[in-house]
Chains A and B, each alone.
Chain A
Amino acid sequence: MINPILKFVACCRAAGYRISTAEVIDCVEQLELVDVLDETEFRAALRANFAKSRRDQEHFDRLYHLFFHELRGDLSEQEGLAQKADQVINSLRDQANGDRSHNAIIEFLSGDPLMFLEMMRQIQTQGDTPSLGMKFNLGPLANRLRVMVGLNKVREEIGRYLQDNPFAFNSAMRQELTRYFHEYLQSAFALLLKEPRPYTDEQRGYKTHEKHLMELGERPFASLSAREIEDVRDVLDNLVRKLKDIISRRYAQNREGVLDVKKTLRRSARYNGVPVEILFRKRPPKKGKIVTLCDISSSVWSAARFMLNVLYSLHECFEKVNSFVFVSGLKEVSEVFDNNEPNHAIEMILKDLEFNYYVPTDYGETFRQFKHDHMDILTKRTTIIIMGDARTNYLHPEDRILGEMRERCRRVIWLNPEPLSSWNSGDSEMYAYKQHCHELRQCRNLNQLIEFIEELML
């Protein structure tokens, strides 16, 4: 009982599983408890101990089938055949020229797939190494071809051996043997052709996915393709979920109120050292308000949409989010966001025909309008986030109004999607606005946006 299990474990390890000795011991112990002759139970016990993640299971099932069904399947039934088969294999061994893949195939035929599986795995992992520049998978392909040629060669050798020794076997036995080896070679072929794909594909997909996101993090928003925009949204969704968790916990924890030992002891001094009043930590911190002003001329919009998306996904973490968009004039869009799902709202704003996107951006006019209509929404708990390139098209920047706004609110943060080097060049009035801002940030790719949002929230 133990031997076949150990052999199977060795094969699993050769195929790239990490199976610890403890797990093998557990499994053998457990097999004594179940009905080994019931295959579902037997398989479930092996699977529960050896393939401990979803990703491994499909491949495990295939290995299981190979090991317990395809290999040595009918040997016990026909002793004579087994002997003859061994005879053929031994003669092949004698002829073997020391080539590794050739040896592996012969061992595979003799019912020991270890070397063959190891070889398969090498071919796969080789395929996984990222090559510089152009991506080829010629390496693994060539290796696979080589093994295929090897398999055919072994098939020929077997045929030749059977022909060269006409007296050793009767014709029925010869047919049996041919069929027998054919099945083995077939399953080796199947391993070679089918097996690696789902396995490596998943791994490869996984790896490059992470890498892809890393690259995505550094790409300027303006140059994203439609597909990448979707990816960015996924990343932001994850971020939002994480932040919400953290923040809701912060509030929940504070609401509960932990005993404040220091304060309780200090207060007890009043009552002759008796802690009559037990004091708890403070009530939750008050939530902040956010006012966003977004330049939606085409130069900035690509970055602004993502920021709006995140802010609105997080809106329950703020008391209120007011948002405005502007090109040459200001327009409040809070309502659109309140009533619609963020992505949808963004589309709606873009399609809003009343708004003229094709005029030069006028920051001065925007600020004048804000002062006139909306100054009252700014309180000491408001954070203003302005997203724009500060390119005023040589119109009056009205930076003085921004100063007034600063007086009334808690913080002013300016996000600029342009690279640092081009700030204040040409018509950019970044430095005129700079003196009124608490914080200036570059925000032109995903990483910078994530960094900003995390700092804002935590």
Chain B
Amino acid sequence: MTFKNVTDVQEKLQVVGYITSREIATVVFLASATNKPILVEGPAGVGKTELAKAIARAFDCELIRLQCYEGLDEAKALYEWEYAKQLLYTQMVKDKISDVITGAKTLTEAVDRIADQEDAFFSERFIQPRPLLKAISSKDPVVLLIDEVDKSDPEFEAFLLELLSDYQVSIPEIGTIKAVNIPFVVLTSNNYRDMSDALKRRCIHIYIEYPQRELEMRIVTIKIPGISVRLTEQVVDTVRNIRNIDMKKKPCISETIDWARSLLALNVEEITPDVLLETLNMLCKYRSDAQAVKVKAQELVN
């Protein structure tokens, strides 16, 4: 599960429909070559999550996703014991248990005998694996996406550190589980808060910006095969102009694509201020933003 070199990364990702700049490709290549996690930062909608998905597609392996939120704990991220199953099994094998303890002379002996069987109840059979354990114990290589890690609590971040540095987890009743294959880990962050230095130190960092004009045009063309060059140019230029306005939420790549798609659906061949105003809700998600664009519609289009 490695790339040959930086160009190889770019080519393989392009095949699965993700176009990268050389800088991003370099970081992806380095991460795959050194088995280090990538920490992806950048504004919403520039394709942070998509990068992980594309890598999974390029390797043709499973993507395991862990969505972080405040209050996410180990039980939700790593594993949980299935109490109900344990209890039911205990009932079902009750006869077996009495077999085990028949002939025991003292209570202590009976307890000892049962204790010998303890493993049966705390085995992997009764563990419900959550994303992190799944990723680690998977027989095939996987891509592990830890999405919006900045939303998680600092305690969880500390717990991640252990996982990311050794790729192993310890379950008290069973022991340490070591990764069969080291997963390709991608962490994304929205800058909701700063990540700790310790976590940053273990990761390779990449900040994904809004793409350059040419890159964005290539992305639009590859996502919407039928679009004309002229319309692509206009769409990308207009969106880039809009991004220069001071707004709450700037239109990102996914919005560029959505907008271009809707223009195609409407059979628009030429973007005029009127067209922009009519389709504005594809680009602006806040009323105040839409207002700001409306005022400048004329100059934005040209």
Contact = CB atoms under 8 A, between A and B. Distances in A.
A223 to B, nearest CB: 26
Given A35-B5, A249-B69, A274-B91, A29 B34 contact: yes
Interface of B: 5-6, 22-24, 26-27, 29-30, 33-34, 36, 39, 41, 69-71, 83-84, 87-88, 91, 191, 194, 197, 200-201, 203-207
A270 interface: no
B197 A275 contact: no
B70 A278 contact: no
Contacts of B201: 20, 22-23, 52
27 contacts: A18-B197, A23-B201, A26-B204, A33-B30, A33-B33, A34-B5, A34-B6, A35-B6, A38-B6, A40-B23, A40-B26, A44-B23, A47-B23, A48-B26, A48-B30, A48-B204, A48-B205, A48-B206, A53-B41, A53-B194, A53-B205, A54-B41, A245-B69, A245-B70, A259-B84, A261-B83, A278-B84
Nearest to B90: A275
A34 B84 contact: no
Interface residues of A, number: 34
Contacts of B88: 275
Given A41-B26, A44-B26, A57-B207, A278 B87 contact: yes
A275 B197 CA distance: 49
B26 A264 contact: no
Given A33-B29, A53-B200, A44 B205 contact: no
B205 A49 contact: yes
Nearest to A40: B22
Given A29-B34, A246-B71, A261-B83, A44 B27 contact: yes
| Residue with the greatest number of chain B CB neighbours at <10 A, chosen from A246, A264, A274 | A274
Contacts of A213: none
Interface in A14-71: 18, 20, 22-23, 26, 29-30, 33-35, 38, 40-41, 43-45, 47-49, 51-54, 57
Contacts of A48: 26-27, 30, 204-206
Nearest to B33: A33
Nearest to A23: B201
Contact of B71 (A43, A45, A249, A275): A249
B26 A34 contact: yes
Nearest to A245: B70
B152 to A, nearest CB: 12
Contacts of B91: 274-275
Nearest to B87: A275
